[in-house]
Amino acid sequence: MKKLGIIIDSFSSLSKKEAQDLGFEFLSLQLEADGKLYQDGILDAKEMLETVRDAKVVATSLPTLESMENAIKTQSEKYEKVLYLGINHEISSTGKYMKTFSQDFENVYVFDNHFSGYQLVYAALLAQEEYEKHQNFDLVLEKLNFLNENSQTYILPESLDYLIKGGRLKGFKKFILKTGRLIPLIEYKLSGHVMVAKLNKTVTGALKKVFNKVLELKETFKNLEVHLISGLSEKLNSEVLELAKEFNVIVSKVCIASSVTVAHTGPNAVAIAFMPSIEEFKK
């Protein structure tokens, strides 16, 4: 039975070792903190968030061009079909470079998506399972598109500092500053853009809005995968899990946010990502 090769990047919240243990080729997005360059997914994830917290100046960049070319070449030689699942091209140029490099390899496909954190791993495992079962790559893409279209991610920063510094709030910046320190609930849109969905007076109020969104999706899909992408704030992480219990929502995976994400949202930010589970594809 022929298998599907996977290339994944550190936006998935995986470490390089975890990705390799799954048989994936791994790309490290890069973090620059106070002039020092770090490869995301190599060092301890919590330590990387602490590096962002303690740095005065942070910036992010795509993986090295050499690593992208090597990943494509290595996987294309091993597998009949290869799929790259990674950070969206609207928030990183990684996908654009991967598309350019993959043009020389007919069996490599770059899948545009708005998955976040461990959703990328979940999608990759689903793709491999479906390909091994049916040996039909078009069917794999069809199911991934369905999963992507029905996936949602909401980000809650504990403070506005990183969003304001990074210019992510744009037109909302003045409004927020004028109306008081309101908490923005950020939505990672299907298009790959990151937008302010709601402004909230409290963190709890914002989180309740997210869990209501989870319940809305549950009306369509009985089985959901709900993930917490955590930051350094144990208080905020715990509040998410406690509210999940109140809403009778099972959080099936907790993973630490990638350092390149928190460089823009802040090291204490959390995200809640949810989508239909694999069980929905077995009906």
Span 148-179, pLDDT tens digits:
999 999 999 876 677 666 555 555 554 554 55
> Cα–Cα distance between 269 and 237 in angstroms, integer?
9
Q: What is the pLDDT of residue 41?
A: 96
Question: Please, are residues 114 and 148 in contact by the beta-carbon 8 Å criterion?
Answer: yes
pLDDT tens column, 86-118: 999 999 999 999 999 999 999 999 999 999 999
Place of tokens 């109020």: 205
Question: Please, are residues 123 and 141 in contact by the beta-carbon 8 Å criterion?
Answer: no
Stretch among 154-158, 164-168, 247-251, 253-257 having the lowest mean pLDDT: 164-168
Q: What is the pLDDT of residue 180?
A: 60
Report angle CA 58, 63, 64 to the nearest 5 degrees.
Answer: 115
pTM exceeding the 0.85 threshold for the entire prediction:
yes
Domain map of the chain by residue range? 4-149, 152-281
pLDDT above 70 (res 209) = yes
Average pLDDT of the chain?
92
CATH number for the region 4-149 comes to 3.40.50.10170
Q: What is the pLDDT of residue 263?
A: 92
Burial of 167 (0-12, 13-18, 19+ CB in 10 A): exposed
Q: What is the pLDDT of residue 167?
A: 53
Find out if CATH 3.40.50.970 is the number for domain 152-281. no
CATH fold match for the domains 4-149 and 152-281: no
